[in-house]
Structure 1
Amino acid sequence: MIKVGIVGMGIRGSLFAEAIRQNPFAEVVAVSDAFEQTLQRSVDQYQVRGYANVEDMFDKEEMDAVVIATPDFLHMKPVMLAAEKGVHIMVEKPFSTSVEEAEEMAAAVERSGVKCLVAFENRWNSPFVAVKEAVANGEIGKIITVNSRLNDTIYVPTQMLKWSKGSTPGWFLLPHATDIALWLKESKPVHVYAVGTKKKLVSMGLDTYDSIQAVVSFDDGTHATFTTSWILPETMPLIYDFKYEIIGENGALYVDLSDQMVRKAASSYQHVHTLGTPINGALTSAPSYMLNSFIDNIRLNTTPESNEAAGLLNTKLVHAIHRSVESGAVEYL
């Protein structure tokens, strides 16, 4: 049985704990969270040992793996501790919000020889899995351009996340969209030009961007556009709106994750969130498939689908986007 610890028991940490409970090859043995109430709730719910201090968990527990589900900007410390202890790592995206930290983390993982999966969950999301297969089969030819739009409702930065002022829609959302492009394309990003807007959230006391738009150029002369915001009205059918367009030499692919095939008109109109609907009690979401893949990487000694190198490249790209927003100039990776 693979013994797993979880750092950060918010929405994501709890989701991963449930996925581990359903995996026949793994078990949660300990959890860590800085908030006493969240920690105690998790200890009671999963009947495991809990630690307010993450160092104590690594010192006192025998763990084969750790799942790191802390806020965007707090991944480095647990990653470095895990690498030092020889504990396999699954860490939320972005790998880091700092290129320097990401490079140090990647180097530590490589030195230790542990397996590291960076949680780009859309690589396990069935619409994008189908897209990847179509591209790999050559059905649209060489990719010429990618256009992505990923937005959240204003509920996310103002209510769901306690730490949104320490992040941006660029760090919280863009890594999903940029990773898909990096996953699909054989070419590498070279430089970016981006702009950002600060108006709505600043007026509400949150000093962070409302939206960011970026054009990314690749080393094969192709380009991609990415737009993201987290100020959509709460009346949107779903909490997120994710649309993706891949245009190739011989065809195109279109993904719309907001249209999930079931539309309900009752007291209000909404799209029913069907992707990841549990079946016979079993979790079927992209995050749970990703978690199970990580457990399989450990027990079968295979390479994670999105490792520390993918995490580092994504951090370099999204960091360049933020630099361009600030400088108003083209920024190179």
Structure 2
Amino acid sequence: MTHLPKLRVGIVGAGIMGRGHAEVLAAHPDAEITAVARRALDAAPQAAVYPGYRELLDSGTVDAVSITTPDHLHADVMVAAAEAGVHILVEKPFTTTVEDADRSVAAIRQAGVTAMCLFNHRWVPAYAQAKQQMELVGEPVVGYARKDDTIYVPTEMIGWADQTTCAWFLSSHDIDLVTWLYDDHVVEVYATARHGKLRGMGIDTPDAMQIQARFSRGAVATFESAWIYPNTFPTMVDSYITVAGESGVIQLDRQKENIQLATEKSYSYPRNMLQRVVHGIPAGAYRDAIHHFVDCARTGAEPLVSVESSRHVTAVLAAAHESARTGRPVPCL
């Protein structure tokens, strides 16, 4: 049996998600973090630090890159990595323009590298089980997906909220998930956006968006995103999905799978499905998705999340933002 070498990974983006990727990869027995861009990460003290992603790629010390830069900065890194023959794991959303998505997909397929957008919700056990049960629900008819954050996220957690929107940041997960559950693609969207609270705080981004999507086989779905919940809400994210078909319905409420914690200061549902540490070891859907990418990059297998499906999520969201701007339905191309 041939022993495959460890996957040498470079991390581009040392913010919250970069630290999350580093913690998972540092604990993976078949991966090692050999390089990081711009600044060191505590989880990878041995990694060489390069001033930027181009220097990292030129170093010849990585087989793959983990791209955790802000939403709008993914494409240039992906194209450069593909041209360097380096495998690609990129945070969601894939890109924030269709043009960037198309050039990224073209570069990836031209180079023949393994690439995956980290739509980690496909590894949440309840969502994966829902996919297996879809045949019992029958032909999809209508769906609703809500993902709303507390105001902590755009005002404190990330410093680039004015470079993205709640829909790019949140609904990208749900659009990937529902299109996967439906086994279909969106052909037209109508969307509305509400501005006010965040603009009043000096952050020029919508408070909330709703997207009405029509799928090719006739099903419809609503995607809701907002990030102005008060910080007293018991979870940082309020996440819920329902899918109704001709023969049944599936409902998924992530809060119901969390533990409840009450202290003298607050009442909360600590997060545990996406990211958690069990006996000192990273666990959860986030970890499982990254491990899947490492396995695919080492073996040449095609990832569960294709770059083409991730490009479609970008196309849906680009059409939604155009619809919100014009007040008209927009085809998804």
How much has 1:198 moved relative to structure 2?
Answer: 0.3
Q: Secondary structure in 1 aligned to 2:277?
A: coil
Match of 1:255 in 2: 252
Name the amino acid aligned to 1:21: A
**2 CA distance for matches of 1:92 and 1:271?**
25
Is the 2:82–2:107 contact (alpha carbons within 8 Å) kept by the matching residues of 1? Answer: yes
1:237-258 Cα deviation digits (max 9, x unpaired): 1100000001111111111112
State how far apart, in whole Å, the 1-side matches of 2:115 and 2:101 are: 13
- TM-score, structure 1 length as denominator? 0.95
How far 1:185 moved relative to its partner?
1.2
Report whether the alignment pairs 1:162 with 2:159.
yes
Aligned to 1:100: 99
Corresponding residue number in structure 2 for 1:125: 124
Cα distance in 2 for residues equivalent to 1:125 and 1:211? 25
1:71-125 deviation per Cα after TM superposition (whole angstroms, max 9, x unaligned) = 0000011101110011010011111101111101100101000011011110111
Separation in 1, partners of 2:131, 2:45: 36
Query: Secondary structure of 2:71's match?
Result: coil
Query: Which residue identity lines up with residue 139 of structure 2 in the other structure?
Result: K
Structure 1 residues 115 and 269: CA distance shift in structure 2, 3 A: same
Q: Give yes or no for the alignment of 1:245 onto 2:239.
A: no
Map of 1:29 onto structure 2: 34
**Whole-angstrom CA distance in 2 between matches of 1:187 and 1:170:** 20
Tell me the equivalent position of 2:3.
Answer: none
Secondary structure in 1 matching 2:317: helix
**What whole-Å deviation, never above 9, does each CA across 1:15-47 have from its counterpart, x for those lacking one?**
1111111111110000013xxxxx14x278522
- Say if 2:9 is the partner of 1:4: yes
Does residue 308 of structure 2 align to residue 309 of structure 1? yes
Answer whether contact 1:5 1:66 (CA < 8 A) is retained: yes
Question: Which residue of structure 2 lines up, in the alignment, with residue 324 of structure 1?
Answer: 323
CA drift of 1:294 comes to 0.5
Q: What is the letter of the counterpart of residue 245 of structure 2?
A: G
TM-score between the two structures when normalised by the length of structure 2: 0.95
Does the CA contact (< 8 Å) of 1:30 and 1:61 recur in 2? Answer: no
**In structure 1, the residue corresponding to 2:73 is in which secondary structure?**
coil
Amino acid at match of 2:7: I
Aligned AA (1:17): A
CA distance in 2, matches of 1:25, 1:32: 21
Corresponding residue for 2:191? 194
Q: Are 1:300 and 2:299 counterparts?
A: yes
Moved more, 71-80 or 299-308: 299-308
Which of 173, 187, 205 is the aligned partner of 2:170? 173
Which 10-residue stretch deviates more, 161-170 or 264-273?
264-273
- The alpha carbon displacement at 1:260 in A equals 2.7
**Correspondent of 1:216 among 194, 213, 216:** 213
CA shift, 1:162, in A, is 0.7
Equivalences for residues 48-67 of structure 1 within 5 A: 48-67=47-66
Number of aligned residues: 325
Question: What's the % identity of the aligned pairs?
Answer: 34
**Aligned equivalents of 1:211, 1:166: Cα separation in 2:** 15
1:271 is matched with 269
From the superposition, tell whether residues 205 and 261 of structure 1 become closer, same or farther in structure 2 (CA, over 3 Å). Answer: closer
Partner of 1:36: none
Q: What's the counterpart of residue 146 of structure 1?
A: 143
Structure 1 vs Structure 2 CA RMSD: 1.3
Asked whether the 8 Å contact 1:260–1:271 carries over to 2, the reply is no
